[in-house]
Amino acid sequence: MKTHRLGRSDLLVSEIGFGTMSLPKDEKEAIYLIHEALDRGVNFFDTADLYDQGRIETVLGKALKGRRDQAIIATKGGNHWEPGKEGWFWDPSKAYIKKAFKDSLKRLGVDYVDLYQLHGGTIDDPIDETIEAFEELKAEGVIRYYGISSIRPNVIREYVKRSSIVSVMMQYSILDRRPEEAMLDFLHEHNISVIARGPVARGILSDDGLQKIPESGYLDYSADELRSLIGDLKAIRPEQPLSQTAIRYALAHPAVAVAIPGASRREQLDNNIKAADVPPLTDAELQKIRALTKANRYEQHR
């Protein structure tokens, strides 16, 4: 498994990571998938306190017990929720970020987290206060590095200017090319890595993607456009699963250090990991994909 340095950090992350949001409900099955990923060279595991109200962090912690040194753990906070209560609200205050992180640490059952990320963010947030929270956690030695999870260019630019983030997680795929408009080159120039979430676009970019197309479409694609597009995309590399082509697309830009597809069953995990063994997309293949798809634009939060 190839690794990439995450921004200016000393973290070397596997280019195929593991997004844990879609882990199966069955704990034994979930732990099996995590162990299988570790055994096959995956070292980057992304989670969040909001995922199933902390349950996913707890499961990940159990899976990594005794194998902590093999894993780079990334989690996220900023969505204020309380166990046993429905609903949540956005709270990037210093007090809540620090409390939420300590709660995550307990659920994970570890002494530190490699990467802590703000799980969202708006331009109206108390950004300096939020950054103080991250810097204090770093000074305490309980986080090694921090980043943000955001697709909002105006928010990303503020954190690049005012903080020492090493990464930005953003949705990026063949069907969601918004980061290409301005952010990928910008972050690469500042030596900040992108963590690409959603590279298979909720399963639409997979061999059974036709069954996963919502009737309402996806972003600025109609359902009919997607049905036609999937066949054209499969034809680019007919010898391999479309999900692997999609993952290689997300990894093609040098700003992207790791792609984090999710997996709820062994077959999905197997396809994801095998994307590490297929050749990178050629320039001609990238051009063909871009000609077939839309150069989506940010319409808000510019």
DSSP string, 51-103: GGGGHHHHHHHHHHTT-GGG-EEEEEE-EE--TT----EE---HHHHHHHHHH
Predicted pLDDT of residue 114: 98
Residue 299 lies in a domain: no
CA distance 18 to 269: 9
Strand 256-260 vs strand 3-5: parallel, antiparallel, or unpaired? unpaired
* Amino acid present at 130: T
Tens-digit pLDDT profile for residues 70-98? 999 999 998 787 777 777 888 999 999 99
CATH of residue 136's domain is 3.20.20.100
Could you write out the three-class secondary structure of 226-261?
A: HHHHHHHHHCCCCCCCHHHHHHHHHCCCCCEEEEEC
Answer yes or no: are the C-beta atoms of 115 and 147 closer than 8 Å: yes
Predicted pLDDT of residue 85: 72
Residue 300 lies in a domain: no
Total domains in the fold of the chain: 1
Predicted pLDDT of residue 80: 82
List the domain range (segments joined by +) for residue 33: 3-292
Residue 195 lies in a domain: yes
Residue 14 lies in a domain: yes
CA distance 16 to 74: 14
Residue 298 lies in a domain: no
DSSP string, 95-145: HHHHHHHHHHHHHHT-S-EEEEEEE---TTS-HHHHHHHHHHHHHHTSEEE
Is 51 part of the annotated catalytic residue set? yes
pTM of the model: 0.95
Count CA within 13 A, CB hemisphere, residue 173.
24
- Active-site option among 51, 116, 172, 249: 51
CA distance 102 to 261: 27
Residue 206 lies in a domain: yes
Q: What are the Cα distances from residue 265, in Å, to 29, 104, 230?
A: 8, 25, 22
Nearest in space to 102 (alpha carbons), one of 112, 117, 92: 112
Tens-digit pLDDT profile for residues 234-246? 999 999 999 999 9
Q: What is the mean pLDDT of the chain?
A: 95
Residue 301 lies in a domain: no
Answer yes or no: are the C-beta atoms of 3 and 11 closer than 8 Å: no
Which residues of the chain, if any, have pLDDT below 70?
A: 301-302
DSSP state of 15: S
Predicted pLDDT of residue 214: 95
Residue 97 lies in a domain: yes
Q: Which residues pair with 170 in a beta bridge?
A: 196
Q: Burial-class residue 277 by CB neighbours within 10 Å (0-12, 13-18, 19+).
A: exposed
Nearest in space to 22 (alpha carbons), one of 262, 271, 269: 262
